[in-house]
Amino acid sequence: MKVSELAKWTGVSTHRLRRYEELGLIHAERTGSGYREFADRVVRDVTFIAMSRDLGFSLKEVGETLPRYRAGTLTFDQLVEIMRERIVEVDQQIAVQRAVRKKLISHIAWLERRRREFEKRKHGKTSSPWPTTRKYKR
């Protein structure tokens, strides 16, 4: 099947399919006129790749798992373990993002305090609400 047909079957763009081929994740034969010709079994591989990517696995990680998937040696238990490891990674990313969120909230509160202080002092003055730096003589 042509790359456009594979894209229709799998819902993966032709651009991504070409990228997967470039990385060696999928393989196509070339016709005499240079067109890619994919075997029907590639639909299964692309579906596995797409589902893995949707779960946040890198193409490198997919490339490490795909041969066992193709060979039928990737067990359910192994797949579950891989997914549990991914959950740990996601939990770590969530923790990092929560820390960033907390800092953002703290900074917003600081800015709001600065604004209130500035508004109180403003009464006719044209000073900046931002801290000033001292200029030292050399």
Q: Give SS3 for 74.
A: coil
Mean local confidence (pLDDT), 125-137: 61
Tokens of 64: 């490490």
Specify the pTM: 0.74
103, two tokens: 């800092």
What residues contact residue 36 under an 8 Å CB cut-off, 6+ apart? 2, 3, 21, 28, 29, 30
Contact by Cβ (8 Å): 45, 25: yes
Decide: helix, strand or coil at residue 4: helix
Average pLDDT of the segment spanning 2-31:
95
CA 9 remoteness from chain centre = 24
Output 31 or 128, whichever has higher pLDDT: 31
Reported as a single tens digit per residue, the pLDDT across 76-95 is 999 999 999 999 999 999 99
